[in-house]
Amino acid sequence: MLSRLVVAVLAASSAVSAITAEEFNAQLAQVDQAFASRGPSLEILSQYDALLRDTPEGLDEAGRMVLLAKVHYKKAIISLSLGKESQAMQDFEISLGLNPSNEGVKKNLLGLIVKYGQREKLENIKRHMPEDDPLLKDTLEKIHIIDGLSRSGDKEKLSEAIQLAPFDTSLREKRIALTQEAIKSTSDSNEQAALFANIADDLDIITKVNPTTNSENWNRLSDIYLFALGEYTNSLTANKKCLHYNMDFETCKKNSKFLNKYSTILTHLATHHRYFQHIQSEQQDNEAHQLEEMDFKDLSTRLTDKGHFLKIRRENEKFDTNLAYIISKSDSFNKQYSIKGNKFEDTIFETLAMDSLLRHDSKSFKKYATRSPKDSLARRLNVIDGLIHEKSFEQAQQEINGCPTNMKESTFLKSRIEKIQAHISQKQQQQRRQQYHQQQQYQRQQHQQQRSQSPPKNDYYKILGVPRNADDGAIKKAYREMTKQFHPDKYKGDMTQEEVEAKMTEINHAYEVLSDEQKRKDYDAGHDPNDPESQKPGGHGGAGFGGHPFHGAQFRQSGGSGGNPFGGFNFNFGGQQFGGMRSGGPRFGSSSKKGSFSFKKNKAH
């Protein structure tokens, strides 16, 4: 028994202009040759269609059926290669009805029936195949497995069923329902976005398989692209296809006005959405759009400024800003899917928060930042700026280190990084200078310590013949005795004049140091004021013997003891006061009156 489709084909072929069998076969051979040499194409497909309009004369019905079955089979193969599977399925059905013995037709047709879930076509095929046919049995087994997986109510098992029947729209509708339930059960915006992307994939297949069956699917797809995924271009495309297949569908007509009237704002929002996605990623994207301060200012103005409001007649008259109208549409989407927010809203409020931050408008920033993601660029920058303001540069750097790689490459974070690094570099330089000074001080201290640990070259205590704990009186007494003994004009011994003078210089140096409390303290610490090599920084210096006066204050002093161990006595050696001689002056006993020496006692005061 022939199907209605086959009967219609035979009736149509008998009504077309007839050609001879030889002519028909010649034309068929030419098309077959073109198909073999050039492969499947729309041109070859149209040539097979033309052959079906020219049925050869002189053939009985059986012969005509075999010939038509052959042409429909080849036409189906080309359609299958070109992705026109619905058309291929129809041609396979016709070919099978005309010639049930073609195994290639059965195999391809059964595969498409499983793939598209069109089980109603099985009954017609069963009439042309025995029950124990391996191809039929294999197909029925696959259908049984798919049914079991789809009835489980488990999303993972349903996905396994869809792998076996990827274009079975009923399975995808079931998965959409399960995915929507999963969306309701999570508050994570990133997870929700991923689930909405899954719904969009399922709706995309459903609308391709059945573009005219349900126009609402196009509208659902358009809304998900815009509000859940921030993809304006795909949203607009879905809306246009909705009107292409059903130009009277009211919902798509209404949304078309919005999508076209607000195209500039929605395009900018889509760009900002891609930017925010990019900076939250660790993966490099050379095509990622970089935004500057002016981009945020411009979009913020379009959204919030009443002067930029885009009015749509009988649609948004009750609103006064584009922001209020767009958020109202976003709220409707959220209500439909029982969610609190979406990626489209995140993009809007992060944009407004960024603009407020860049304008230093703390009130507006607080208003918009609370509705932005916690890890948004605006909120991170606010924390970092606060730390920089408090001069907590190390903590600010730690915050930056925790940002995604692409966020660190943004112009906004780079400017903060440069500021922090400049401070850290300056601080490091200060630390290096401080360390250098500390090292220099340490080296000086070490040097001084080493010198203090080495005994002075001149042992003044030994020179005066006193112990190290001698008091001032003992030191003065020893000095007087040593001076009387080694005075150049009084000395009687084996020493030469030069040796006596040198000895007297040692005695004076010893007394000069040991009679002065500070000099004695320095000397005991290892610093000899008469030894340049042991001088500490800021040490004593001057003229005279060894860089000092020859104790002139003591010898020139007149009246009273006043630190002069000789009390009120004046000495004069060869016309010069003993204490008044300078290095380079006349030596002792070199005056014109050699050896003259006067001694008189001053009157006591």
Q: 582-603: per-residue pLDDT in tens?
A: 334 333 333 333 333 333 334 3
- Which position has the higher pLDDT, 307 or 491? 307
Separation CA 465–CA 467 (nearest Å): 7
Which residue type, as a one-letter code, is found at position 403? C
Residues 6+ apart with CB under 8 A from 20: 56, 57, 58
Point out which residues pair with 569 in neighbouring strands.
Answer: 601
Query: Rounded distance, CA 584 to CA 300, Å?
Result: 91
Higher local confidence (pLDDT), 152 or 205? 205
pLDDT digit string, tens, across residues 466-523: 998 999 999 999 999 988 888 888 888 888 888 888 889 989 999 999 999 998 988 8
Lowest mean pLDDT among 131-135, 423-427, 527-531, 569-573: 569-573
366-419 per-position pLDDT tens digit: 999 999 999 999 999 999 999 999 999 999 999 999 999 999 999 999 999 999
Question: Is domain 460-601 in CATH 3.90.600.10, yes or no?
Answer: no
pLDDT digits (tens, 9 = 90+) for 532-584: 766 554 444 443 334 344 343 333 333 333 444 444 334 343 333 334 333 34
Tell me which H or E stretch contains 569: strand 569-573
Residue 492 CA from chain centroid, whole number: 95
Whole-number percent of the chain with pLDDT over 70: 83
Contacts of residue 226, defined as CB under 8 A and 6 or more positions apart, other chains included, come to 232, 235, 259, 266, 344
Average pLDDT value over all residues in the chain = 84
Count the neighbouring beta carbons within 10 Å of the beta carbon of residue 494. 6
Q: How far apart are CA 341 and CA 189, in angstroms?
A: 8
pLDDT confidence of residue 533: 67
Domain boundaries, the chain: 4-164, 188-371, 384-450, 460-601
Residues 6+ apart with CB under 8 A from 461: 467, 468, 470, 510, 514
Q: Which of 14-28, 97-111, 448-462 has the highest average model confidence (pLDDT)? A: 97-111
- Could you read off the pLDDT of 162-221 as tens digits, one per residue? 999 999 999 999 999 999 999 999 989 899 999 999 999 999 999 999 999 999 999 999
Cα 137 from chain centroid (whole Å):
57
* CB distance 528 to 457 below 8 Å: yes
Percent of the chain with pLDDT over 90: 59
User: Between helices 322-337 and 293-304, what is the axis angle to 10°?
Assistant: 80
The separation between CA 129 and the C-alpha centre of its own chain, rounded to angstroms, equals 64
Predicted confidence at residue 597, as pLDDT, reads: 35
Span 249-263, average pLDDT = 97
Report how far Cα 228 is from the mean position of its chain's Cα atoms. 25
pLDDT at 365: 97
- Helices 61-81 and 103-116 cross at an angle (nearest 10°) of 50
Question: Around 42, how many Cα atoms within 13 Å sit in the side-chain half-sphere?
Answer: 2
361 has pLDDT over 60: yes
Phi, psi of 547 (to 5 degrees): 95, 5
Cα-only R_g, the chain: 55
Q: Coil, strand, or helix at residue 570?
A: strand
Q: Residue 452 above 70 pLDDT?
A: no
238: pLDDT strictly greater than 90: yes
pLDDT digits (tens, 9 = 90+) for 2-49: 455 555 555 555 544 567 878 888 888 999 999 999 999 999 999 999
Could you say which architecture CATH assigns to the domain 4-164?
Alpha Horseshoe (1.25)
CB environment 533-549: b (16+ within 10 A), e (fewer):
ebbbeeebeeebbbbbb
Is the pTM for the entire model greater than 0.85?
no
pLDDT at 333: 98
Q: What local confidence, expressed as pLDDT, does residue 288 receive? A: 65
The C-alpha atoms of residue 346 and residue 176 are separated, in whole angstroms, by 24
Q: Which residue has the higher pLDDT, 473 or 265?
A: 265
- For residues 559-570, one letter each, b for 16 or more C-beta atoms within 10 angstroms of the residue's C-beta and e for the rest, the string is eeeeebbbebeb
